[in-house]
Each structure stands twice: as structure tokens, then as C-alpha cells.
Amino acid sequence: MRIVHIANFYGPNSGGIKTTLHELGRGYLKYGHDFIYIVPGTQFYQEQTPYGRKITLPSVILPGSGSYRIIKSNKALRELVRELAPDRIEISDRFTLRGMGKFAKAQGIPTVVFSHETLRGLANRFLPAWLPRKALVNWHNKRLAKSFDHVIATTEFAAAEFREIGTKNLVKIPLGVDLVNFSPDNRSLIFKQELLKGSQVLLVHCGRLSPEKEPQRSIEALTELRARGIDARLVIVGIGPMWKKIRLLAKDLPVDTLGYIADRKRVAAILSSADVSLAPGPLETFCLSALESIASGTPVVASESSAVGEFLKVNLKHPAGAVAADNGVAFADAIESLLYRPKLRAVARSAAEALPWDKTIQLMMLLHGIEGIGSKAPSVITKRKLMIAS
């Protein structure tokens, strides 16, 4: 089977989207499928990668996004897809690529779209209150669901806004985590001391520095902890439009801003050496860096309004971390509650082991491979075949 995945917001410094594409491609290739991913670039270019054939199309930079790109011409994209003649199409952009669903239906090609964002959360944060935000979100989500054979949500948090409008072709398939490269075995006390630079508690924030992810919350939490006499240091891995603001906020504080790190092994070493990993984004529908943290044996403190608490299993007696209200004091309280509890590292790793990438791949192949996939099949897929993903 030839599967074509089209994604915007993919680039050298992108995190979750790039990781998702690469892991999907690696998995499909493992099971004998042909995988092609089309992403924005500076010009038309194609190359064979360990994750499948990568094709870049000319694109434009989205203003204010911190260098994120979107494909310039959807017409050129449609022509390319016709030439590639895929058996299935996957989409990772619910906004600018929604029209690809209608195009694919006209070509008789089954489609899925990943809902990587909570549109309701984005609307509530960025749209003025006088607009009918709920109605606009519902209108968009109904059109999105109608355009594609299936909408994929990775968590209940992401699925909620579709369930509320009775979306029939919604399927929940969680993303996975690399359990080999991200492991407690990477933990090094020597490396931890290098990162601590004389401090006692090591915190790490790994993620894109953009407004909707609230990276300043980690600095607020650090400031509060130090006011309580806890000698903590914060390492920030990532880059984005708030880079300068974060560096300014971190001035005169024990904070290291390391920027984007392409070497996943180094990221894994940092995550595994930390005492607590922070995921303050209130709109996160999955947050791969948080999942990579617990795979590394490091407990996570996340926003209580995001999806992260789902895979931290915060409702259980022994969770893999904690959630907190969206303020620095609450985050500091949650961090302090996790310190000096070494058994948490094994609990964190165990929670991550429930979400291997191979499980994601098998669920995706199940979705793609069911006879009669399309408008007549979603209720059967959701209720009988994909319940194991819920």
C-alpha cells in the first residue's frame, strides 16, 4: 500500500510533527508499505530517507510563527498527489490543507486527518470574546469531519470538541514514544552535575517557545521554588517566537537556554538526568516531549487543562507525575511534591511503556486496511476495531 502524508509546519526545528511523520514512516516501511511525506521547503526537492521518500514543495513562512512554513500552492500539491497515485492520504494540518479531503474524495482516495490541536482552546485564547467562538469552532470541526473519511484524535482531550458535536467518523489513536532512545539507562549523575552547575535540583523544559505553550510558566515556577529555599536550576531546550522574551525573563536566574538540539541522544540524556520535566502548555493535545520524559524515567508536571495528565495517569494511586493550575505557584507546589521520590522514576517509565510506536502503527494500519473504509465504515471501525485505542 502506498501512503502519502502531507504536513505543514514541518521544518529543521519542528518537534512533534516531525517526530510523528518520521515514526509513522519508519513503522509503515517496517511492515512493507510505501511511505511518502510531502512537507514545505524552499524548493521542489525529493530524497530517500530512513522514514520513506521525502518531497518538499516551495512554501512561504507564516508570519509570527518563528519560521514555520506552509506549502505555497495547493494546486501544485494536488498535481503532485495525482502523479504519486496513493492508496491512502494522511493530513497533518486541519487548516490550510482541509481542501485536500474534498480533492481526495473526488479521486476515490480514502483519507484521514490528524487533529493535532484543540481548536476550541486556540479560539478561546486568541479570538476576542465578542466573537461567537463556540459556534465558529463547531462550524470548522463539522466541515473538517465532512471533508475527510476519518478524523484522528490522539487523546480524549483532543477528541472532546468532536464528540460534543456528534462526529461519527472520529477515531482515537494515541501517538507513541521511542522507548529505545529515551530510557532511564541514559541517566548520568556526572552529566547531571554538569547541568546543575552547583545547584541541587534539575528541572527541564523541552518544547517550542511559543505563546500558546506558556514557556514562561517554567521560569515562574523556578522563581517560586527558589523563594522557598529550594536550590533549583532550569534547563530549557527549544526555540520559537518567544526566544528573546524567555531569555530576558531568565536574566539573573539559574536558567540555561540551550535552543533547539537536533541530536536526539543529547536530548534524551538531558531528559533522563533531570529531576522533574515541565510541560506547562495548557492546550497540549499530546506533548511528545512529556512522553519522552517519562520514557526517560523522569516525572512530569503539566498543566491541568491539557491532555498530558491522561498519559501521566494522574487519577491513579501512583501517577507518573502531577498536574497543576496555570500559575507559577501551583507548578512549584506540584514540583515540590515530586522531589526526592526515587520510585517515581520506575512508575514514569512504566506509564510510557504502555504507548510504544508500534501500537500506533498497528492501529493506523488497521484503520487503513479495513474493507470499505470511508463514509460507510467509521462507526464499525470506532466501536469494534479501535476500541483498544481508547
Output the pLDDT for position 61.
84
Residue 284 contacts residue 123 (beta carbons within 8 Å): no
> pLDDT tens, 139-178?
999 999 999 999 999 999 999 999 999 999 999 999 999 9
> pLDDT tens, 14-45?
678 899 999 999 999 999 999 999 999 999 99
Q: How buried is residue 38: exposed, middle or buried, by Cβ count under 10 Å (0-12/13-18/19+)?
A: buried
- Please write down the HEC assignment for all residues of the chain: CEEEEEECCCCCCCCHHHHHHHHHHHHHHHCCCEEEEEEEECCCEEEEECCEEEEEEEEEECCCCCCCEEECCHHHHHHHHHHHCCCEEEEECCCCCCHHHHHHHHHCCCEEEECCCCHHHHHHHHCCCCCCHHHHHHHHHHHHHHHCCEEEECCHHHHHHHHCCCCCCEEECCCCECCCCCCHHHCCHHHHHHHHCCCCEEEEEECCCCHHHCCHHHHHHHHHHHHCCCCEEEEEECCCCCHHHHHHHCCCCCEEEEECCCCHHHHHHHHHHCCEEEECCCCCCCCHHHHHHHHCCCCEEEECCCCHHHHHCCCCCCCCEEEECCCHHHHHHHHHHHCCCCCHHHHHHHHHCCCEHHHHHHHHHHHHHCCCCCCCCHHHHHHHHCHHHC
Residue at grid coordinates 466541515: 143
d(CA 215, CA 235): 12
Closest CA to 355 of 313, 318, 311: 311
Quote the cell numbers at residue 261: 538540539
- pTM of the predicted structure, to 2 decimals: 0.90
Output the pLDDT for position 66.
61
Output the pLDDT for position 116.
87
**∠ CA(46), CA(71), CA(3), 5° rounding?**
55
Output the pLDDT for position 321.
97
User: Residue 91 pairs with which residues in a beta bridge?
Assistant: 6, 113
Residue 221 contacts residue 253 (beta carbons within 8 Å): no
Output the pLDDT for position 20.
93
Q: Which domains does the chain have, with CATH numbers?
A: 2-176+356-389 (3.40.50.2000), 184-352 (3.40.50.2000)
d(CA 93, CA 309): 24
> pLDDT tens, 348-378?
999 999 999 999 999 999 999 844 433 333 3
Output the pLDDT for position 384.
44
Output the pLDDT for position 65.
61
Q: Which segments of the chain have a pLDDT < 50?
A: 370-385, 387-390
